[in-house]
């Protein structure tokens, strides 16, 4: 087994509970490891720190998978199975499947001690992502699929498992495309579409469409909290959902408000949002969708003195690196400043950031700065994060990425 010797700073980071080793952390490599292989990690004094999965391409050169050095491949696969079983049990406790909710994250990579492995459930479909050279391998794939089948369909319940690569990660890790077809299907005709429920609302799911695994399940409880706050505010006339994607916040607000507008730059996303609206005929709000750039539309609305009782801002990650954080804060400030100018007195602002490079403190500070510039008094009602099926690990700050602030604006 190859050995990676890392800097003292990197060793301290691992000892504090982190799992990543960056390429800049490497001091020496005795033998160039094979892409995706297991390697033993040592500090500058050659003290063994554990076993990691090596990547020849990523800036993250290795991901620690065990504090045991010189771990065999067989033991690693056994650990994966045990950890998948533990992750599924945690979801049974934190996000049980029922008539109101049958979609959640099953496996959350480092947060479940499964670096490079994600899985999301949408009713009877499970979407798997293997995100590193060390996990996008047949033995890992077979181990995860077997554990998911046993945990989710022990008695032959309807289940289809698909692998869906993240194109950006696949390019970064230099990974081949997975083989076509499902990883597992309980029937001879594998399902590629389904319907799932979040907070009692119905949504459609298509394996071949959408971003990442297809929907943003991390906002599940935030959708409900936003609707509850708007209801309690008494200001339920007109709502605006900016970067609506498939209509998550918009449809929840359509339970409360008389008129809801969802905005997104993607026509395809809005078509799905409209299909989701049709799945919920009980929603009586006047609902419309606008294909537009968020910055341009909010600027135009601001100029036209448009007014709303509730505004949701849920943009994609502005900061995908530390270098981009400063520019991201400027973008967040502009969006929030425009929104604050357009909110009616007593209205609700639901503002989000999914950039883990932007801290909660910085994000909250930028909203405060926007409030001062807009001349609005903003009361922070709730500070929220991802739903608990996306657990945070205190020693892994990257697992705390989603910030959701629910505010009352005077």
Question: Under DSSP, is residue 264 helix (H, G, I), strand (E, B) or coil?
Answer: strand
Q: What angle do CA 229, 233, 237 make, to 5 degrees?
A: 105
407 counts as catalytic: no
**Residue 270: count of CB within 10 angstroms of its CB:** 22
Q: Report residue 68 as tokens.
A: 């045991």
Q: Report residue 167 as tokens.
A: 């194109």
Residue 306, CB-side half-sphere exposure with 13 Å CA sphere: 18
CA torsion through residues 221, 227, 229, 232, sign: negative
Contact criterion met (CB below 8 Å) for 168 and 158: no
**Residue 304: count of CB within 10 angstroms of its CB:** 9
Contact criterion met (CB below 8 Å) for 327 and 241: no
From the candidates 257, 354, 404, 407, give the one annotated as an active-site residue: 354
Contact criterion met (CB below 8 Å) for 191 and 124: yes
Q: What does DSSP say about strands 343-353 and 378-384: parallel, antiparallel, or unpaired?
A: unpaired
Nearest to 60 by CA among 164, 139, 135, 163: 135
Q: Catalytic residues, which ones?
A: 354
């Amino acid at each position: 087994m190859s050995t990676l010797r890392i800097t003292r700073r990197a060793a301290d980071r691992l000892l504090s509970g982190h799992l990543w080793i960056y390429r800049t952390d490497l001091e020496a490599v005795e033998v160039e490891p094979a892409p995706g292989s297991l390697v033993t990690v040592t500090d500058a004094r050659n003290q063994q720190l554990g076993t990691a999965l090596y990547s020849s391409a990523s800036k993250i050169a290795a991901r620690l998978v065990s504090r045991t050095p010189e771990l065999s491949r067989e033991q690693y696969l056994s650990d994966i199975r045990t950890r998948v079983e533990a992750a599924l049990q945690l979801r049974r406790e934190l996000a049980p499947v029922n008539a109101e909710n049958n979609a959640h994250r099953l496996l959350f990579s480092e947060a479940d001690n499964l670096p490079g492995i994600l899985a999301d459930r949408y009713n009877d479909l499970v979407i798997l992502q293997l995100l590193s050279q060390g996990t996008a391998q047949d033995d890992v794939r077979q181990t995860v699929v077997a554990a998911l089948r046993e945990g989710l369909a022990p008695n032959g319940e309807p289940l289809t498992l698909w692998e869906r690569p993240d194109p950006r990660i696949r390019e970064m890790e230099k990974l081949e495309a997975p083989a076509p077809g499902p990883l597992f299907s309980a029937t001879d005709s594998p399902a590629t579409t389904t319907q799932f429920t979040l907070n009692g609302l119905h949504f459609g799911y298509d394996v071949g469409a959408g971003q990442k695994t297809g929907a943003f399940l991390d906002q599940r409880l935030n959708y409900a909290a936003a609707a509850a706050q708007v209801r309690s505010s008494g200001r339920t006339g007109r709502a605006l959902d900016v970067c609506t994607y498939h209509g998550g916040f918009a449809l929840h607000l359509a339970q409360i408000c008389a008129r809801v507008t969802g905005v997104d730059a993607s026509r395809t996303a809005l078509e799905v949002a409209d299909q989701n609206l049709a799945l919920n005929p009980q929603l009586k709000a006047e609902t419309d969708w606008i294909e537009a750039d968020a910055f341009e539309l909010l600027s135009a609305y601001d100029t036209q003195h448009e007014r709303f009782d509730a505004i949701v801002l849920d943009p994609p990650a502005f900061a995908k690196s530390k270098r981009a954080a400063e520019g991201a804060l400027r973008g967040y400030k502009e969006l929030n400043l425009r929104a604050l100018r357009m909110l009616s007195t007593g209205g609700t602002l639901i503002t989000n950031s999914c950039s883990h490079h932007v801290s909660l403190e910085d994000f909250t500070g930028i909203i405060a700065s926007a409030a001062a510039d807009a001349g609005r008094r903003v009361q922070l009602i709730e500070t929220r994060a991802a739903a608990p099926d996306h657990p945070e690990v205190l020693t892994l700050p990257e697992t705390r990425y989603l910030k959701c602030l629910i505010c009352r604006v005077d």
